[in-house]
Amino acid sequence: MTSGPASSDGPVQDALSGRPKVAIVTGASSGIGLEMVKRLIGKGYRVVANSRKITSAMTLHGTADLKLVDGDIGIEETAKRVVSTAIQSFGAVDLLVTNAGVFIPKLLPSTPPKIFGGATQTNLAGFFYVSQLAVAQMRLQKFGHVVNISSSMVSQPIVGVPAGL
């Protein structure tokens, strides 16, 4: 993975321990999540990056400061693996960026319940599982931040009944 140089202030470190800050980013194989990982690495963070197939996406490559965890964050075991990777590899969780999400590109009447269930599992349960675990660690540390990224797709009004019905 390539990334730009750290800021002129140097790598971001914990003020008390002097260790590099640790971040978890879900939905990290493309788009906002991928760019977030690159920026955090560039600022000196150690990062655990997650998406369903992050290793086979080959948009990031694991290093000593970047751990990749494959899996659907909407499955509780995946969330446990992601957070435990951060703690075991880096000893902390200072920042959680929940960015994983599924978009349903169909009108409401034509969306199968299975598709809706899968989106709900990733978009809602995934946020819950990983946040619950990361925040528990942050409480032990007495420090941490959670950033949730979501989208309402306002410019693409696809949910509802087509006009004329």
- Alpha carbon distance 4, 42 (integer Å): 5
- Alpha carbon distance 131, 35 (integer Å): 21
**Any bridge partners for residue 49, and if so which?**
25, 68
Phi, psi of 2 (to 5 degrees): -110, 150
Which residue, among 15, 17, 49, has the nearest Cα to 32 in the 3D structure? 49
Under-70 pLDDT residues of the chain: 1-10, 15-16, 152-165
Write down the number of H helices and E strands in the chain: 5, 5
Tokens, residue 133: 């675990």
- Per-residue pLDDT at 165: 46
- Per-residue pLDDT at 12: 80
- Per-residue pLDDT at 20: 93
- Per-residue pLDDT at 149: 92
